[in-house]
Amino acid sequence: MSSPDKILVAMSGGVDSSVAALLLKEAGYNVEGAYMKNWINEDKVIGHCPWEEDIVDARNVANHLGIPFQVVNLMEDYKHKVVEYLLDGYARGLTPNPDIMCNREIKFGVFRQWAKDHGFKNVATGHYARRTEENGKPFILEGLDKEKDQTYFLALLNEAQIKDALFPIGYLQKSELREIARKAGLPTAEKKDSQGICFIGEVKMADFLTAYVPEKPGPIVRASDGKVLGKHKGLHYFTLGQRKGIRIPSNTDNENYVVVGKRAEDHALLVAFDHPDAPGLYQKEIRVHHFSWTLDPITFPCELEGRVRYRDPRVPCEFIPESDGTALIRFKTPQRALASGQVLALYRGEKLLGGCVYL
């Protein structure tokens, strides 16, 4: 009788990946756990980065389950593939998504390759998503818990990466997962979900940017008439649609300003009152590039659904490929705050088709 396939679980020290490891072990797989050491905040300039506590928690869960555990150092890869992408994007006025890049380049990139090099067939994670197959080809469906669905963060994976991926908790509601963890006595059963950036823990993006991106001050300009309302410390602190942190007062009707654009030539931050007709805030059409397809590429105009950001619902859109390698996305209804550099996830119903980046 052949031995069961070896599965490597990316254990973050949280309850989701802990239950993923538990379920795979209970299903009879040969399971091992590994913590990806991506970032340790060596200079201590951006607050608390709980990687040490997370390793302890992940190791305690592995010991509780009786599975081997190790720490895989991916810090250099992370610096080059994710951190530099993040900093370069913000420096150029874009709004990058490090969590999506982490999945493509690290979890299902270098970590997946490390696993294959060490005899593992699959990499499993605690994502709320479902992997299935159709005509022998693997693809991803939304997680059953729609409040926790994380397929948006998997939108830039390719077919080969999906083939090697397992998402054991995608069929669970979060409440069910917590109960499974409690009944199994997992040390992370009551641990709160992480709210930070994927690689720097409980650290706010603004604090990270303050530490690593030079400030370039400029004017805050009202888009409707060009009036200068104040000054800002750097465009990288702001993103389209942002209301908080602009630090200019509302008007006498208590209407708040919102970011509607950035002007590179004079580093101007463009703002307007947060109305449906605010210039540049809502868009019905947008051009996209840098496609990644989970199945076969779509090369013809068709009706799809798009998720413009995490936690937003899928919305109907028309996908129109162009000869220059870009595509026009035409939404049925105008969408708010589509910032250059962000990712659009494409779906047909619950099926994740792939993703692309706003120009």
User: Which residues are identified as catalytic?
Assistant: 102, 198
Q: What tokens were used for 228?
A: 């200068």
Non-local CB neighbours of 288 within 8 Å, separated by 6+ positions: 326, 327, 328, 329, 344, 356, 357, 358, 359
Q: Closest by alpha carbon to 96, among 340, 354, 327, 289? A: 340
Check: CB of residue 269 under 8 Å from CB of residue 260.
Answer: no
Based on the number of CB atoms within 10 Å of its own CB, is 179 exposed (0-12), middle (13-18) or buried (19 or more)?
middle
* Paired strand residues for 273: 257
Contacts made by residues 174-182, CB under 8 angstroms, sequence distance 24+: 174/128, 174/145, 174/147, 174/148, 177/15, 177/16, 177/19, 178/15, 180/19, 180/22, 180/23, 181/15, 181/18, 181/19, 181/22
Residue that is written with structure tokens 């798009």 in the block: 306
